[in-house]
Structure 1
Amino acid sequence: MTRKPMRPCNFPLCSELTAGNYCQTHQQQTVRLYDKARDPKLVSFYKSSSWLSTRQAVLSRDNHLCQHCLQEQRLTPAVMVHHIQEVRKDWEVRLDLDNLISLCDACHNKVHN
């Protein structure tokens, strides 16, 4: 098994070598900053039993397949359930099955980038 080459931490002025993006010290800092910036209401929602059961229902409905890949005749396991209309923009549709779609990680990243 090959290992990722070591490279400098992405944190400004840090020269610690790491296989990931950040050294252990700065990884913890970036996680803390990320969590601090997140909306507590959204964090709570994504941990709720109503979201977890709705998410499972969507994955089952879509046969655990990425719906974007499926449109291109590719079978790719879905790992994400994506809100078509963002929860931040319309809280009322957060559990609406018609607003949810199963996606693979790559397609989910394409949608958000």
Structure 2
Amino acid sequence: MAERHFFQQGIDGASLSGLLLIGVLSASCGETREMDQRQVAPVEILRAPAVGNDEERFQQLRADTLKLMIEAAKRELEIGPFQRQIDVTVTQSLTDMKGAADALEKVATGLEDLLSQ
């Protein structure tokens, strides 16, 4: 009995099931779904003023910006630029704590503005 080449072989049950599975997965991956677009009311986030020496202010502002970033992420807002600014302030704090604290204050204010929209 001569061997049949791959192209000449019939499709058996397992191969057919595999092809159907691939077809279903391909269709579902390309499927467009309506996202949950619930409206989130602006929430005023009250931050206590950062007080103390420059290092204490910086640490308090780091905690505040973290909370604000978490809230912004929950709302699926664009936080990438804020994260980059925070990274810069961390590096700046190694040589200029006062400047870093002042810059972080601006980041926190920007996040509050974003969340209040």
TM beyond 0.5: no
TM-score by length of 2: 0.23
TM-score by length of 1: 0.24
The structure whose residues are more often strand, as a share, is 1
Which structure has the greater CA radius of gyration?
Answer: 2
The structure whose residues are more often helix, as a share, is 2
